[in-house]
Structure 1
Amino acid sequence: MKNFTNAPRQRALQLAAALVLAWPLTGLALDQGEQNGVAYATGGVGQDESSILRSMAKDYNLRVLAAGKSGEYVADVKVGIYDSQGKPALSLVTQGPYLLARLPPGRYRVDAEYGQARQSRQVQVPSSGGAEVSFYF
């Protein structure tokens, strides 16, 4: 009698389990990275992404929200964050209405551009806790 192992079947089951676990994250437009030593995450399109980003917010000390004047969330907002000397800390296009950043404590200028509209906000990022900035276009 031949000795058949279950190795191929086990590998197939492991692959299936990995796919099932990853399935909820497929199609998400979350963008995470680091620029100039500043960690960031952006996204929030749809209920799943919004929930994920809201749960991640505690790990970042600057939270930026972009929405239309009537309250609908917007994406593809050009955001630039500059330190008190005007040096760029972060520059990107959002993948959704939320942008989270982990910055050194200090004073920053946050510029946002959506379509033809441009806005700026000054924000103080504290050494503990966080700061929030909202833009309505």
Structure 2
Amino acid sequence: MSNPLSAFTIKSHQQTARRALARSLLAVAAAFLCTSLPAADIDDNAKSNVVSAPQAQIPWMSGGIGDEARDEMRKAATAYNVQVIFSDRQGSYLANIPFAVTGRNGKEVVAGVSEGPLLYIKLPPGSYRLSAQIDGAWQHKQIQAGTTGRPVRTSFVSRGE
């Protein structure tokens, strides 16, 4: 005669093993999604700039992967009052960086993913918190946009290797 309790125990162990495997795969996928990519590792198809939708309240543009895209970004720079560069400690550019801008009241003004190492944003005059997620950790900077007539230029640098 078979022991119904041992069949239950085996089934329970199998479910636990499946859950552990699923959690591990989820952790690996999350780590991959939160990893910044060196801009040099992006294929040629991605070497174009991204502009926010025309109806966006806060216009922004990102890209700068490759000479042509970088030149296009530099030509458009005068239309934006916040200019950001993403890089690692060695100076290599980074791409696919999530970013967010919040106003003084803590309300999100604009958010997105910078497709390349250059991010340009056109903000109304005021104080903002600019945040970027690099290597899975959010970094933050306080900026004052649109008050001096010159663009705010800042950078976010990977704290990893």
Higher alpha-carbon Rg: 2
5+ residue gaps, structure 2, are 1-44
Any idea what SS the aligned residue of 1:65 has? Answer: strand
Q: Deviations over 1:4-48 (max 9, x none)?
A: xxxxxxxxxxxxxxxxxxxxxx86421101475101110000111
* Cα pair 1:36 1:89 within 8 Å, conserved: no
Q: For residue 55 of structure 1, report the CA deviation from its aligned partner.
A: 1.2
2:86 alignment partner in structure 1:
66
Between Structure 1 and Structure 2, the one with more helix by share is 2
Code of the residue aligned with 1:135 in structure 2: it is F
Report whether the alignment pairs 1:107 with 2:150. no
Matches within 5 A, 1:21-32: 28-32=47-51
Runs of 4+ in structure 1 off by over 4 angstroms are: none
* Number of equivalences: 112
Give the share of equivalent positions with the same residue, in percent: 28
Code of the residue aligned with 2:132 in structure 1: it is A
CA RMSD after TM alignment: 1.6
Q: Deviations over 1:38-72 (max 9, x none)?
A: 01110000111111101111110011110011100
User: Closer, same or farther in 2 for the Cα pair 1:84/1:75, shift >3 Å?
Assistant: same
2:98 alignment partner in structure 1:
78
Report whether the alignment pairs 1:98 with 2:118. yes
1:121 alignment partner in structure 2:
141
Between Structure 1 and Structure 2, the one with more strand by share is 1
| TM-score between both structures, scaled by the size of structure 2 | 0.65
